[in-house]
Structures are given as C-alpha cells and as structure tokens.
Amino acid sequence: MESLLAQGAVMVQEAKKILVFVGAGLSTESGIPDFRSPGGLWSKYDPSDFYYDKFLSDEEARKKYWKMSTESYAIMRDAKPNRAHLAIKALEDKGKLIAVVTQNIDHLHHKAGNSPEKIIEIHGTTFSVSCLSCGKRYDRDEIQERIRLGEEVPRCDACSGILKPDTISFGQAMPQDKVSRAIAHAQECDLCIAAGSSLVVYPAASIPVYAVESGARLIIVNRDETSLDSTANLVIHESVSKALGDMVGI
C-alpha cells in the first residue's frame, strides 16, 4: 500500500491541472452515513417515496420528505471536514486544483475552505432551500426553525409555493450548467482523482470517463472495487482520508 501511495504522490506532484471527483466515501469518514449503507437512511425510509414527481403531487410525500431530510440535515450541519477535505483544499493552495466535483450535499468542501467557484455540487446542497414556484431562496436553518415550531410542510412566505432543499431528487433533472462545467474541467485536466465514489450513479460518474478520454491520468481511491478500476492508472483500496492526505502530503 505504501508504494501505491508513493506512486500517487508522484502523480499529484507532476500534475498541473487536477480535477477531484468525490462521492459518499469522503463524507462517511466525517461521520455522515451513506444513504445506501446498512443503517443509512434507505434502511429506514423507502426511496420510492422520494421521487420528484411524488414530492410535487403528494402532500403526504412532502411530509415524509421533510422528516427524512431534517434527520439527515442535523447530521450534516454538525459534521466537520476530514483529512481528505483538507487535502483537496491543500491542492487548491498549491495552485493545482481546477475544481472539485462532488456528489455530496453536505457543504464540507466549503467548511474546509475551498473557494466556492472551485466547488461543483453536482447533486446540489442541503444547506439552502428554494421555492419551486417563485425561486425565492432561504437559508436552511431558517426553514428548520419553522419545522421545529410545528410546520410539517413549509411553504414559501412570498407566494405559498412548494419549498424544497436545493438537492437533486430521484427523477429530477440534473443542473445542466453544473454538468457542463464539470465536463469542461474533465476535458482540460491532466489528472483526475476519483475518491470515495462507487462510480455507479450516472450521469455524475461519467465525469472521470471524460477525463480519461481527453488524455488525463486517473487515480481511483475507494475502499471497494469500481467499474472504472480497469481504466485507471492507479487504484488504491484504502481509507480516502489516509490516501489523499498521504498523496498530497498533509
């Protein structure tokens, strides 16, 4: 393992334009359970209750959604960046990071100090809420306070429209501007590091593919095998925080 990490460190040192693509494995090391893992939210709730169309059409579905989302938000709000997040921040400090594309909705790259313009939250963020009718945006804590005071399904105070956290739900269209930016960065990077992602959730998981097809080298860091392992220049099955921390040298 140490020789693999040493190889990764050399690849990081040689690279000039690094794109980091991260998934839930980064957040689990900050104490945020993977929705799909044993004990995760999908073991308590039925994912089919949270499809976007159902959220729009069914008041009971919205009530279930807010209950689930409130539970997950409490964990994310209190979570702290781990060594992997700090390693990604260090890559920015070194002038090597062109962007971090994250499947996570937990705001931990912001907490770690990465520049907002470097962070592409491809599945959105749970830290803000928007009205689906008029577009008014709210800080999440404001909405959580209304829920704490008894409002089970909060509505927009400007137009009474449906409020929803700024995350991408099952069946909801991906934000095309973010996808386009992520692809553009993938096509310009000389090294892509895919960390803590099973690389099975598309279209997000296609980002490392674009990087490889454009000539970039690919490092995959994940505890388990992924479908892209055979195309990577280096595969490390290890703790994400240890691997990134060691390779970046923090």
The single residue of 85, 107, 109, 123 carrying the catalytic annotation is 123
The answer to whether residues 154 and 65 touch, using CB atoms and an 8 Å cutoff, is: no
Tell me the C-alpha to C-alpha distance, in Å, between residue 159 and each of 59, 126, 171: 17, 22, 25
β-strand partners of 129: 138, 165
Residue 52's φ and ψ, nearest 5 degrees, are -60, -45
- Tell me, yes or no, if 107 is annotated catalytic: no
Bridge-based pairing state of the strands 191-195 and 18-22: parallel
- Catalytic residue ranges: 123
